Structure 1
Amino acid sequence: MANIRLYPPYGTHEQSSSVKFEIYDLDTDKIKVEIENVTDSVKADVK
């Protein structure tokens, strides 16, 4: 299990087009993160 921090942790809908995040407290060596933009159905993978 892992935790995710979003930067900035607040903001408006217009500011949400650019979000940074940090994954911490990860208890495994290999991860796969899938992020889907629900408005455009665009996926991004972090491996």
Structure 2
Amino acid sequence: MEVARKPGDDDAVLRAVQRDVRVREARLGDEGFYILLHWSEEDEKRGPR
């Protein structure tokens, strides 16, 4: 299913992700967003949200 994307959608996604996890790198590539996350040992102990 194709999702229509509006200008600014990617910025909104990035802001939402940054509120929840520490983002090491986020880039908009040819195929869309990819994000490298930084996990601490504390995050590992807490487990998935």
Is the pair's TM-score, using the shorter chain for normalization, greater than 0.5? no
Q: Which has the larger radius of gyration?
A: 2
In terms of fraction of residues, the more strand-rich structure is 1
Normalised to the residue count of structure 1, the TM-score between the two structures is 0.31
Return the structure number with greater helix share: 2
